[in-house]
Amino acid sequence: MRAKRLLTIDEAAEQLCLTPSTIRDWRFRRKHLAFVKVGSAIRVSQESIDRFIEQQTIPAVAFQ
């Protein structure tokens, strides 16, 4: 079994081009991203980031 990649708040924010405070706000509101608590630390899985990107992607419309 492959270990899941867990990101810090700063790493998750960097991947999404957001500020760490936005990610923290989402955590408190339980919006958008699933979080993992490791002791007192909060982590975001790479899978959660990837799923968020997929869900927020708007497909292109072909013009004819």
The token duo for 2 is: 């492959």
- Predicted local distance difference test score (pLDDT) of residue 8: 95
Q: What angle, rounded to 10 degrees, do the helices at 9-16 and 20-29 form?
A: 110
For residue 12, how many other CB atoms are within 10 A of its CB? Answer: 26
Nearest to 26 by CA among 59, 57, 46, 48: 48
pLDDT tens, residue by residue, 2-53:
667 899 999 999 999 999 999 999 888 877 888 999 899 999 999 999 999 9
Per-residue pLDDT, 32: 82
pLDDT of 62 over the 60 cut: yes
pTM tops 0.85: no
pLDDT of residue 5: 86
pLDDT of residue 9: 94
